[in-house]
Each structure stands twice: as structure tokens, then as C-alpha cells.
Structure 1
Amino acid sequence: MSALMSEHSGEAGAARPAIFGLSLPVGRFVLPRVLRKPVRFIGRFCEGDYQPPRYFGVAACAVFLSASSIYGAWLGGQIPAAAQAVTARLGFAVDQVRVSGNRQTSEIDILEQLDLSGWTSLVGFDAEVARERIASLPWVKVASVRKVYPDELEVRIEEREPFAIWQHGSQLAIIERDGRVVTQFDVNRHSVLPLVIGYGADKGADFVEKVRRYPELASRVKGFIRVAGRRWDLRLENGITIRLPENGEDAAIAEVVRLDREDGLLSRDIAVADLRLEDRLVVRLTPEAMERRTAALADQAKAAKKKPGKSI
């Protein structure tokens, strides 16, 4: 027992290990095993017992400068560009672009949105950003961009369906069935579309479909005119205007078709066929027909005056 006490007292009188001049309280806590070697190394280094290898300072400076350069390049956005250049020269440069689904949209416009250069790498190419740019083109409804390694891009688009030409004021635009404006009118590409005229006419897809149920009439319609946001007029190719009522336009259209079949109404010299009254059709002649009618009535009046009166 006394031997144990003396040994313990001898250890207590011995010098305690220290780091940076601070003694460690041996016996009060024990460092984890993973930290013991690093602590011993730091202690030996601080006490001068450890000599660094030759050129250690030069290597440390080189590591520090390299790390600083990489960090600066990362902050300046140069790392992605460097990665693009390296991977492009390793065989991942975009060499082919396949585009499908485009009818109204030119491939040149699509390629411009991809923003490719001669050394664009497929590895660092952001397909989602390119897809968003392509989807912003006027005719594009849905777009997808897929990377096909090692050097190919695949672009697929779904385009909007043109429904009519909408004239509002002096402006002409291509619209979809729901009235959404797609792009400005191009006379060389979309002249076969029906023409709807006036504010509110862009929402007239249902009315256009009603007229299309009568092909013999629809083929002669040049314009569908919305009047005061309440009713419709039909302007025919020969200049006749058919004025439809606010209510009951289906029956009025059917009546016009019947009169044309039976009496050739729409082939006569009339300017307006007004069906806004429920019980009658009002017709207005063209100026030329009015002149001819006026002249004919005048001739009839003269002829009546020249007839000899009856003797009593």
C-alpha cells in the first residue's frame, strides 16, 4: 500500500505534458484515441522536437497559392467555363442537334435559343435553361431538351394551333381557339384562316363553328364582324353583309341558307340582308341596283303617262 502511494506521489511530482505552454491535467480526462496522435504531433512541433521535411515551406506556399487561385476562379465564375473547355476537348462537344415537332417555328430560331458555340460541352450544358428559352418562342406550347451523350442534343416541341386572324383596330394577329394571341399576322403564311373583326371577336370560336355547319355559306364568308359586343354580322366575298339578330342567330343563319337555296338570295344585287326583325327580312340594294331600279320606275311612270285615256 505504501508502495502504491509513493508511486502515485512520484507521478504527481513529475512534469506534466503541455501544449502551447499550458499543462494538461493528466488523470482528470483522457483524449479520444483519434486525437491522441495529432495532439502529440502538435506538442512535439511546438516544443521543437519535430523538424519539418526539406522544402516544406515551398510546398505549403504552393498549396496556399493554388487554393487561393481555385477559390478566386470559383468566385469569378471561371470554374464552369474551364470545365466546359476541358470536357469539350475530351469528346463531349455538342456536334449534332435534332429538332422535331416544329412547323411554324424555324430551326434557326430554335438553335439561337440553345446558344451553342463551337466548343459547347454536353457535360456542362444546362438543358432546363435552354428549354425555358425555347418555350418562350411565340408558336411553342411545350418544349423539351434532352442530352444524348456523348455529343447530341434532342429538341422536341409542341406548337400552338392557329384558329383565326383577329383584326382589332388596325392590328392583325393570329389567335388560338381560346382567343390567346400567338403572333402578328403574316400574309404569306396564314391568309387561309378565317377573319374575325372587332373587340370581343377573339372569343367567337363557337359562332364561327356554327357558321361552318353550313359549308355553302361558310365558303363565301370573308369576315365575321362582332358588333358592339352583342351580335354578329357576316361579310361575304361578293360584298353582301348579313346582319344577324342578338338572339336566335342559329335560326337566322338557317333562314339565310334556305332563302339562298330556294331564291338565290345571296347572288342578287343586294348590299345588306337584315334579319334582326323576327317577322321579316329587310333587304337593301346596292347603289348600282338602286340606280337601275330608280330608272326603271321612272320609265314605267313615263310609259303610264303616254297611254291614251279611255273614251267615254
Structure 2
Amino acid sequence: MVHPRTLPVPVRSPRQRLANRVNRAFVLHGRIIRRTMTAMAVCAVALGLYQVREPIGMLAATLGEVAQGNFAQAGLAIGEISISGQRLTSEQAIFDALGIAPHTSTLGFDVEEARQRIAELPAVHSVTVRKTYPGDVDVVIIEKIPVARWRVDGVTFLIDGRGEQIGEDRGTYGDLPLVIGDGAADDALVMIRALENVPRLQEGLIALSRIADRRWDMLYDTGLRVQLPEQGVAQALRRLVSYQDEYQLLDRDVSIIDLRIDNIVAIRPNKTEDSDKS
């Protein structure tokens, strides 16, 4: 039998004592220590990423450009672009909206973004953009319908039913009604629809002139001007039809027919040579 007190006591080095304290701390407070170390690691990683954000971004952009070029060189470059359905919109405007560069690949081409840019062009009502591999892009456009020509400041535009400019008239829409003057585009469709109910009044009619953005004058190829009221246009047109049926008023040698006052028709005859001499 050996008494415990007679056993030798080992002498521990400072490193061993430190290791014992660390082990004891982990045994007693291991959970708190692990959480603290995890939080510190996360903060360190975040700080490191923040400091190298610009180099990483430049590297990603460079890799993207390299990949784009490689795709194009591998035979996936966009080659043929087919555009159909447009009359008012130029092919150049559509091509610019597509955003296709010389080395753009089919994989890197964003169909939805291109479609949205084309849809913002003035004359475009709807558009479909489709890419077919390996390198074709098809664009099908449905344009807005012009209802009238609007001449202002010496330029003639085409306008839709909402009065919005959708292009310039280059001589191919001469069959559309012509409206002139400031503000004429906004109310053109209402006046045009009113005239559709009285086709006899459209014979020889060359333009509708907006006066002070309040009312309309009808201009005929004979030089006749018919002044319409601000309110009750439909009734005034019906009266004019009845005067034409009964008196052929539009065929008379007059320069102005004034219908601005209800139930009153004022007429200004053209000047004749006899009246000029007198």
C-alpha cells in the first residue's frame, strides 16, 4: 500500500497550464465561446469581401465579356435579324432598341429587355421578340393605327385615336383627314367621327382647322370656310346638310358660312369684279 501523499507531484510547464485553463473554459463556457467565435468569423469575412468588392466586380465583368466573346466565336453570335410589321417605325430605330452589338451572342441577348425598349417607340402598339438558335432574332411589330394627319408649324404628323404623334406623314397617308392648328390633335377623333355621319359634307373638304383650341372650321377646296360652334357641332352639321339639300349652299359663290350661333346662318359672298369696281 502506498499513501497518496507520498506520490510525487509532477511539475507542469506554463504551456501545459495554459492548455488546461483553455480546456476548462471550453468545458464550462463552450457554447458562448463558439457563438462568439462564429460571429467574429462572419464579421471578418464580410469585412474582407467589402474591401475586395471592386476587384471582384471588375473580375466578374471581365469574365462576362470574355465568355460573351467566346460564345460568339463558338458560332452563337447573332447573325440574321428579321423585322416585320412596321411601316411608321424605321428599321434603324428598331435595331437601336434591340441593343445588339457586333459580338453579342444568342445566349447573352435579353429578349424581354429588348421587347420593352421596342414597345416604347411611338408607333408601336405591341411587339414580339424571339431568338432562335444558333444565331437568329425575329421581331414582329403591330403598330398603332393612324386616324388623321396633324399639321402644325409646317410639319405634318400622323396621330392615333388618342391624339398622340406616332410618326411623320411622308405622303403615303393622303387619304386620312387633315387637322391643323394648336390643340387640333387632342379632339380630332371626335370631329372626324361626327363627319362620318354626314358623308355629303366631306366632298371637297380638305382640312379641319382648330380655332383657339375651342372650336372647328371646315375648309373646302373652293376656298369656302364653314365656321362651326363651340357646342352643338352635330346639330350644326345636320343644319348644314339640310341647307345643302334645299339650297346647294356649299356650291354657292360664298367664302364663309357662319353656323356659330344657333338657328342663325350668316353668309359672306365672294367678292366679284362688279363689287370691286363699285
Residue 29, structure 1, aligned to residue 12, structure 2: no
Task: Flag the 1:17–1:94 CA change in 2: closer, same or farther, 3 A.
Answer: farther
Give the aligned partner of residue 283 of structure 1: 267
Distance in 1 separating the partners of 2:174 and 2:185: 17
4+ aligned runs moved over 6 Å, structure 1: 2-7
Distance 1:278 1:112, change over 3 A: closer
Q: Residues of 2 paired with 1:225 and 1:198: CA distance?
A: 6
From 161, 173, 184, the counterpart of 1:190: 173
Paired residues of 2:224 and 2:255 also in contact (CA < 8 A): yes
Contact residue 233 and residue 241 of structure 1 kept, 8 A: yes
Q: Which residue of structure 1 lines up, in the alignment, with residue 233 of structure 2? A: 249
Q: For the structure 1 residues 3 and 285, does the alpha-carbon distance in structure 2 shift closer, same or farther, using more than 3 Å as the test?
A: farther
- Which of 82, 89, 97 is the aligned partner of 1:98? 82
The 1-side partners of 2:99 and 2:159 are apart by 29
Q: Which has the higher contact order (CA 8 A, sep 6+)?
A: 2
Which has the higher Rg, Structure 1 or Structure 2? Answer: 1
- Residue of structure 2 equivalent to 1:273: 257
Partner-residue secondary structure (3-state), 1:259: helix
In the TM superposition, what are the counterparts of 1:110-129 in structure 2 within 5 Å? 110-129=94-113
Residue 238 of structure 1 corresponds to which residue in structure 2?
222
SS at match of 2:26: coil
TM-score by length of 2: 0.73
Size of the aligned set, in residue pairs, is 251
Alignment of 1:1-312 (within 5 A): 13=12, 23=19, 25-26=22-23, 28-29=25-26, 71=56, 73-74=58-59, 77-183=61-167, 185-204=168-187, 205-287=189-271, 290-291=272-273
Q: Report the CA distance shift for 1:17/1:99 in structure 2 as closer, same or farther (over 3 A).
A: farther
Q: Is the partner of 1:202 in helix, strand or coil? A: coil
Structure 2 gap segments, 5+ residues each: 32-54
Q: Classify the secondary structure of the residue corresponding to 2:185.
A: helix
C-alpha displacement of 1:27? 5.2
Specify whether residues 72 and 211 from structure 1 end up closer, same or farther in structure 2 by C-alpha distance, changes over 3 A only: closer
Aligned CA distance change for structure 1 residues 171 and 5 (closer, same or farther; 3 Å): farther
Would the alpha carbon gap of residues 278 and 111 (structure 1) be closer, same or farther in structure 2, given more than 3 Å must change?
Answer: closer
SS at match of 1:201: coil
Q: Return the offset for 1:241.
A: 1.0
Instruction: Provide the rounded CA distance (Å) in 1 between the counterparts of 2:244 and 2:88.
Output: 39
Residues 259-300 of structure 1 show CA distances to partners (whole Å, capped at 9, x for unaligned) of 22333221222211222343442222222xx335788xx9xx
TM-score, with normalisation over the residues of structure 1?
A: 0.66
Give the Cα separation in 1 of the matches to 2:3 and 2:129.
84
User: In 1, are the aligned partners of 2:129 and 2:138 still within 8 Å (CA)?
Assistant: yes
Shift, 1:117, TM fit? 4.2
- Give the counterpart letter for 2:130 in structure 1: R
The answer (yes or no) to whether the contact 2:149–2:169 under 8 Å persists in 1 is no
User: Which residue type is aligned with residue 95 of structure 1?
Assistant: G
- Structure 1 runs not aligned, ≥5 long: 33-69, 299-312
